[in-house]
Structure 1
Amino acid sequence: MKYVVLIYGNPDSRAAWEGMSDDQRAAGLAHYRRLNDELDASGERIVSERLAFPELAKRVSGGITTDGPFAEAKEFLAGFYLLDCDIEDRALEIAAKLPEASFGAVEVRPVMGLAGPEL
């Protein structure tokens, strides 16, 4: 079953990241590299990406393109993992390993696919 892990940021988490020393940021990125290596070795990671800040988003609607940000919320989608796990509990276990799970918000959702849910 495929699951998407949505990683959310907010102004506080953004400020915390920007306030880190170079060594602290390097350690944080190394954590993600180790997790990615672990998930690649197990075959569970399909893809993961960090997303640009909402200010760099563009929206196309009715043939008109406008600049972001668009949501009137403090939280923003900061990145994602697309996983292929045998059971939901494994996807939740992986999500809990993300630093944002301890100080931000991480959401796990089953991927429906075009044919509908794989339930």
Structure 2
Amino acid sequence: MSDFTLADLERIVASRAEASPEESWTAKLIAGGQKKAAKKLGEEAVETVIAAIADDRENLTYEAADLMFHLLVVLKIAGIPLANVMTELERRTTKSGIAEKAARTDA
């Protein structure tokens, strides 16, 4: 198992965001703005779903990695640190998913 974490990926995204858009896909996405990055995230989400439905484990792994990367780019553009997302996930583990969803004001 790898010791690589999403926090490591977040640091790489931040570092590559400082590069020239001509030299870095990450910088190019960020330069394109949230709309472009979010669209790419959506494309990757669809590709992940297709791989899951097809029960294509190899492609699902590949697409899940793309999805996580693009999510971190979208979060970077929005100025939302991964730690905020992890805190929210941790908060949600204090009760069952069904109870947590029912407790949301928009549920």
TM-score range, shorter chain: 0.3 to 0.5
TM-score by length of 2: 0.34
Relative to total residues, which structure has the larger helix share, 1 or 2?
2
